[in-house]
Amino acid sequence: MLVDSHCHLDYYVEAEIEQVLARAQEAGVGRMVTIGVRMSQAAAVKALAERFPQVWGTVGIHPHNAGEGPLPTPEEIAAEADHPRIIGIGESGLDYFYDKAPRDAQAENFRRHIRAARIAGLPLVIHARQADDDILAILREERDAGGPFDFLLHCFSSGRALAEQAVAMGGYVSFSGILTFPKSQEFREIARDLPADRLLVETDAPYLAPVPFRGKRCEPAMVAHTARVLAEVRGMTPEALAEFTTGNFHRLFRKAA
């Protein structure tokens, strides 16, 4: 069984969600996590996770949305995660590619989510795009100030140094359909070299459809194609890859029983 560790099920039309989940099941994707990007969205995430036993959720504020209004306190974020189907905090982090929110607001939002993850005892799902140095600096500062916390670099498309130093801090790294793109040889080499016990797979659906579905809307079922490429670069069978990435998922997201 594969787990799609990061998707956005509430971005689909309500009438098609059951079909999307059925196609995932047919592809061997037995579990998935639908991710929060605004606190106002938390109720919808919880409703989906309550409705479908194969779905869990997270709550948080995406860096794109960090400038939309007053940020909740770490305690408020942690309280929103106090739900049996919510297994993580986020996604939060830094995005300097689009810069849709002021960078100081992104940084403050990121720090609050780190602290919320520590309060809640849940892993933090991190969005990192063209902000490697600042991501690492904040991770180190918060770790030094408050102690270690669990985290996942989702949809990895950053440099080798971020991946390796994040793993050294106890973090995990998740690969999306980007891994299958022709120009992603650098990411395939990073995925090949990272410790096996720190790797997950995801779709970020409905975005980033893998080869051979480029240009189409992505679905959780398509994580099987990313997993196949990851298995190839690591010289293992898809079955073995599914087993260890699913095991990694459950070690990180311990609340997902």
56-91 in b/e burial notation, b at 16+ Cβ within 10 A?
bbbbbbbbbbbbeeebbebeebbebbebebbbbbbb
Q: What is the domain partition of the chain in residue ranges?
A: 2-252
| CA atoms of 168 and 172, how far apart (whole Å) | 10
DSSP H or E run through 132: helix 132-146
What is the CA angle 7-225-221, rounded to 5?
Answer: 45
For the record, the structure tokens of 184 come out as 């992603």
Fold adopted by 2-252: TIM Barrel (3.20.20)
Name the pTM for this structure. 0.97
CB 80 within 8 A of CB 56: no
For the record, the structure tokens of 68 come out as 């939309």
pLDDT in tens, the chain (257 residues): 999 999 999 999 999 999 999 999 999 999 999 999 999 999 999 999 999 999 999 999 999 999 999 999 999 999 999 999 999 999 999 999 999 999 999 999 999 999 999 999 999 999 999 999 999 999 999 999 999 999 999 999 999 999 999 999 999 999 999 999 999 999 999 999 999 999 999 999 999 999 999 999 999 999 999 999 999 999 999 999 999 999 999 999 999 97
